[in-house]
Structure 1
Amino acid sequence: MFAISLPDPIFFAAAIPAVSLVGLSKGGLGGAFALIGVPLMAMVVTPVDAAAIFLPILIIMDLVALYAWRNLNDRKLLLTLLPGCIIGIALGWATSAYVPDDALRFVIAVSMILFASRYFYQTYGPHRATPVEATGHRKGPALFWGTISGYGSFVAHAGGPPFQIYALPLKLDPKNYTGASVRLFAIVNAVKVIPYVALGALDTKNLTLSFTLLPVALISTMAGAYIVKKLKPDVFYPLAYGLGLIAAIKLLYDSLPL
């Protein structure tokens, strides 16, 4: 890894694109971009430092996104998934020293690849003329995928795909879907501060690096919100699934012992 000192062009060459991608995701343009951000930054700092640097940035992005989506939400989706997410964060804190990060990345990646592939087959395959009905809320799957989302978010900021696996088949209005997603992960990231502090990851060096990247975070988050508000459902959902598939392939690659 590179030794980071401010200003460091090598660090910022990776960090600025990474934060921009996560900002677009936070603004509502699919959780997939967020998965790319941490591995990209991890090219120039350790994975633990990359996750720690991102957490304060994510919280600022959350505040911007909450303002941008303040009038749009799906309360039932938010409340259905939140308990599982909190459980997942607690499990991540308790088991972070025992469960390999790559094992979680592998499970999340394979699940998302299968899920997105099924969507594209149903939408564009030989039976595409048959409409796929929206699913309803189910407590069991909500608890399971919420827990996986909270756990993935804690250990790798990778909570987006499990959230999508549960939420996308509901076929909500894209704006309400995004509003619920923004609120859910704002709560998740706020809760994560406590265990991150307990683990000693939020030190002065990482907080300083986070602060220098805030302008990029603010601009990219607002840009993501603007783009999503202009998208129609028949554009939004293929885009969301497609970005999820790309990110899952990247996550699968990161998990393999190459």
Structure 2
Amino acid sequence: MHLADLGVAAWLLLVVGAIAVGFAKTAVGGVGALAVVAFAAAVPARNSTGALLPLLLVGDIVAVTVYHRHADRAVLMRLLPGVLPGLLLGVWFLAIADDTVMRRTIGAILLAMTALQLWTRRSAGAQSGPRKSSPAITLAAGGAAGFATMTANAAGPVTTLYLLAAGLPMLEFLGTSAWFYLLVNAAKLPFSASLDLVSGDSLIVDALLVPALGLGVLIGLATVRRIDQAQFERAALVLSGLGAAALLL
């Protein structure tokens, strides 16, 4: 990605993507998939993954600063072990798949997971409160998150579905996901650098987009103060599904 190649339309998409990152990190994580789509539309899809990663890390640091006290460490520690195999599988997939196959495969998987979660929640009826998933489901969720985030920065729908299934209240959801994304995105950075997906030009673009991310953070914080748990869960599921569907286009 070269700065000189970015036109006005590309910059507008990148700004929208940066605002979406800030909002997703502090409010409804499903919006993060819209940032993935915006960056992939502004620059080549393969390069967009590396261009977006440093900006995500900035958002992660902000989110951890705001919500770190609310993290459910038990849920976090159960989810993390499956991530590394997923990251390694994602590195291999990046090496063999073209951009179209990569986006559509991930989108199809995440859309199916969203539909499954909606069905599960409907079947559960009035059941509420903390729910512990089986080790197999937890391992699969961690692996899927690692794979999706390595290939397309698209772990949001996977972790959203898992954390909602765990029955976490809104603030615990935000705190747990903040730590999860910070650790996972930091782990991704060496892999992305080794694949030449992070460049000097992309880092300059990210630095220029930090104010837009800050605007998204402010909007997100204002939103969290105005919505309740039920609204939060509905928004998270709907936006996760829309983001997954967008990856199919």
Q: Please, what TM-score do these two structures have when normalized by structure 1?
A: 0.86
Conserved? CA contact 1:60–1:218, under 8 Å? no
Stretches of structure 2 that go unaligned for 5 or more consecutive residues are none
What is the aligned partner in structure 1 of residue 233 from structure 2?
237
Aligned mates of 2:37, 2:26 — CA distance in 1? 20
Instruction: Give the secondary-structure state (helix, strand or coil) at the position aligned to 2:42.
Output: coil
The CA distance in 2 between the partners of 1:133 and 1:177, in whole Å, is 15
Residue in 2 that maps onto 1:127: none
Q: Which residue of 1 aligns with 2:210?
A: 214
Q: What displacement does 1:170 show? A: 1.8
Contact 1:87 1:150 in 2 (8 A): yes
Code of the aligned partner of 2:232: F
In the alignment, structure 1 residue 105 sits paired with structure 2 residue 100: no
Deviation at 1:8, TM superposition (A): 3.8
- 2:12 maps to 13
Contact 1:26 1:61 in 2 (8 A): yes
Deviation at 1:239, TM superposition (A): 1.7
Shift of 1:178: 1.0
Residue 202 (structure 1) aligned with residue 198 (structure 2): yes
Q: Does 1:144 align with 2:140?
A: yes
1:192-248 CA deviation, whole Å, 9 max, x = no partner? 110011011111111111111011112312432342244321221112112222222
Counterpart code for 2:213: A
| 1:113 and 1:249 in contact (8 A); partners too | no
Whether the aligned pair in 2 keeps the contact of 1:28 and 1:182 (CA below 8 Å) is: no
Give the Cα–Cα distance (whole angstroms) in 2 for the partners of residues 226 and 85 of structure 1.
32
What residue number does 1:65 align with?
63
TM-score for both structures, normalised by structure 2: 0.89
Worse overlay, 7-16 or 173-182: 7-16
Query: Counterpart of 1:192 in structure 2: which amino acid?
Result: K
Report if aligned partners of 2:11, 2:42 keep a CA contact under 8 Å in 1: no
Match for residue 116 of structure 1 among 103, 115, 118: 118
CA distance in 1, matches of 2:235, 2:37: 21
Distance 1:147 1:224 in 2: 28
Q: 1:201 to 1:7 in 2, by over 3 A?
A: closer
SS in 1 for 2:133: coil
Q: After TM superposition, what 4+ stretches of structure 1 lie above 6 angstroms from structure 2?
A: none
Shift of the alpha carbon at 1:141?
Answer: 0.5
Structure in which a larger fraction of residues adopt helix: 2
* Aligned position for 2:72: 74
Partner of 2:127: 132
Matches of 1:71 and 1:229, distance apart in 2: 17
Contact 2:157 2:240 in 1 (8 A): yes
Q: In the comparison of the two structures, how many residue pairs are matched? A: 244
